[in-house]
Structure 1
Amino acid sequence: MTDPVIDLGKYGDAFRVDPHPVYAELRAQGPVHRVRPPGSDPGYSTWLVVGHEEARAALADPRLAKDGRRIGVLFQEDGLIGRHLLGSDPPEHTRLRALVSRAFTPRRVETLRPRIQEITDELLDAMLPYGRADLVTSFAYPLPITVICELLGVPEMDRTEFRKLSTEVVAPASPESSYDAVVRLAAYLTELIEDKRCAGPSDDLLGDLVRTTAEDGDRLSPSELRGMAFLLLIAGHETTVNLITNAVHALLTHPDQLAALRADMSLVDAAVEEALRYEGPVENATFRYAAEPLEIAGRAVDEGDPVMICLGAADRDDARYPAPHDFDIHRDTRGHLAFGHGLHYCLGAPLARLEARTALRTLLDRAPALASDGPPGEWLPGMLIRGVRSLPVRW
C-alpha cells in the first residue's frame, strides 16, 4: 500500500506565515508523514518527521545519510562548493569535524565576548538616536555578519554582497536564483582562500583552517576548505540573524514575558533558549536520505527516500513540552532540537548563544521602552530558515 502524500502547498501562504498549526494537525495524526513541500514538482515527495522523540532518534540514526553519494546521487552544489560537515557522514564527517574543531575551539569563541559586546554597543549607538528602526537591517543582521566575517577574515567591503548571496542560498526565490548564488559564492570563496594562502600567517579562523594539520599530517584540501568556509559563513550568520529577530519578536508579542525578563534580566539565557524552542531559526534540518530500507515510527521508508526532520514541529510537541504553543521564558527547555542532535549537532551553537544573549540583554537595557512599530515583514520562503525579512521597532 502506497502512503498518501500530503500536499503542503494546499495551505497556501498561511503555511509560510505560520506553519505550526499545520504541523500540529499532522502530529495529531502521527509523528511521520509523506509530504510534498510547497512549490515542489507534482511527482515529488519526502518524509517529514514532526514528533519530538522520533525527530531526536532520526537525527542520530546512521542509516539516514547526509552524503547523497551513499544512495548514488551527486548534487551539483557538491562540485561547486566542496565537501563540508552538512553533506558528509562518518568517517569523512569525523575527519572534517576534527580538523575544523582544532581551529574553531570553545576558547576561541570565548575570546570573542568583548568584541561581540563592542559591536553590539556600536550598532545601538548608531541606531538608538533615531527612535525607530527595522531591527533586522540595523541590528540583527549586522551583528552576526560582522562577527563571523571578522572571525573568518572576510574583508568589510565584501559583506553587503555576501549577505545578498547567502540569503538567496537559504531562502531562494527560485531554484535558479539559488544555484546562481552558489556559483558566485564558490568563486568568491576560492579567491578568498587563495588570498589567505598567499598572505601567510594570520589570526583569523579561515587562515588557521588553511594551515591546520592533524598529528598524522592530514589537512583540508582546497575544495574542503571552500566547503567549510561556505558552511561557516552561511550558518555562522544567517541562523543568528533570525535567532535574534525571532527572540525579540516573540518578546514583543508576549508582553507578559517581556515584563518578566525586564524584572529579572538573569533570565536572558532562558529567554534565548525558549526562543530557540518556540521559533528556532532552522525550521527543518537539511535533507537526509535512507541509505537502506528502514522504519520510522512504523512507516516503511525505502532506500533512497529523502527525509526532512522538522525541528520546529518537534520542539512544539505536547508529548515533550506542556502547552508547547505558549512562549514561556520560565519553561524547562532542556532537550530542544533547535541546534540538532547527534553527530551533526551545530558546531557554532556556543557562538550563536553568546551573540543572542549579548544582543538581547544589551538591547533591552539600552532601549527600556522597546515596542513594535507595525507588523513584521514577510516570512522567508521555503522550509529551511524561519524568520522575517524586517521587524519594525520603536523605543
Structure 2
Amino acid sequence: MDLTASELSQIREDLHQIPELALHETRTHDYLLGKINAWQTPYMTIKAVPAVPTAILVHLAGTRGERTIGYRTDIDALPVTEKTGLPFASTIPGQMHACGHDVHMTIALGILQHFTQVQPEQNMVFFFQPAEENDYGGKRVFDAGAFSGMWRPDEFFGLHDNPQLPAGQIASRMGTLFAGTTEIHLTFTGVSGHAAFPQQANDALVAAAAFVMQVQTVVSRNVDPVRGGVVTIGDLHAGTIGNVIAGSAHLDGTIRAFRQTDIEMMQGRVRAIAEGVAATYGVTAGLQLIQGGYMPVENAPEQTRDLIDFMTADPATDFSDIAPAMTGEDFGFLLQQFPGTMVWLGVGDPQHTLHSDQMSPDEASLLPGVQALTRFLTHRMAE
C-alpha cells in the first residue's frame, strides 16, 4: 500500500525539524536511509558516495530494464532562523527548511515507496542530493563518478516547490525553467587612514560604492531586454568607525540569466568593472566568480513535451504552463549531462516566498504531488 496523506505529512514534519546545511546533512541522511531500508526489496540496491558522504543513491531494477529513469531530490536547508511558530518547527538554531527541501524529500520518498511495492517496468535511480543551496552537490556527485554503469540514468526528473501556486498543482514549461547563477565575491584592498587626511589613504569603501553603481549597467546595457538578467550585490562590509577611512571592503552578490552565453558575458563585464574601479581608485581587487553547478535549468524537448502532454491530459492532475523564473537550481548541471525535466509543485503559501523565515507549505500538496509524478513516471516507462 502506498503512503497515505497523513504518513507523508509525518515524514515532512520529521524532516522539517532537522534542517542541516550543505554537506552536513548527517541526521537527514540517516533518517532517509532508515526509511529506505525499511522498504528494502530484492530489486533494490543502495549506494553510498564516499566523496560526498551524505548523498544516497537507490537503484530499482525494472521488470524489463531496457532504460534507466532518474529522479532527484535535494536534502539540505538554509541558515535561516525559523519564525513560523509551527509545532514541528526546526530544532536546530539558525537553520530552517525555508526552501521546502523537506517537501522535496517527502515527495521523493513517496514515489520511491510506491515503486518498492510495485516493481517498475524500467530501471530507476533515485538521487538524494546534498548541497543544493550552495556547494553544488549534484556536480560533486557527478564528478565523483557516481553515475556510471547501472547508475547512469537515461533521463532525469526533479521537482521544486512553489508557494505562489495552489497546493498540489504541477507547473512547467518547454525550454528554460530556472536561471543559471554565479556567485560574486569581491574584496577591494586600499590603505586605511584618518578621515581628516584622505590624501594619505586609498579609500576601499568609495571603490566599493563605485563598483555597486557601475554593475547596475551590466544588465541594462549589455543583456537583450527580451531575455533578461540580474546582477545583485546583497552584502557589503567596509570600515569600523566613522572617522577612519576603510582600508578594505568586501562585497558578495549574484549574477543570474536564462542563457549560459549571457551568464558568461555578464561575468566578463563584472570582472572588467572590478578591474577598472580598482585602477581608478588606486586599490587592488580580489574577485572570485563561482558558478559551480548552477547552470540554467533547461528542460529537454522530448521529455518535457511528453510530460506536458501527459499532465494536461491526466484528469487527476492540476497542471499549468508557467513563465521562467530567476531562481537558481543546481539540477541545471545534471540536465546538462542527462536529458530531463524539472517541474514546480504548488504548495499554497502565497503570503511567503521561498527562503522566507515564515514559509509554511500546505501539506495538502504532498499526496497529489506524489501521485501525479508516480503516474507520469509509470507512463514514461512505457514509452
- The alignment's TM-score, normalised by the length of structure 1, stands at 0.24
- Structure showing the higher strand proportion among its residues: 2
Structure index of larger Rg: 2
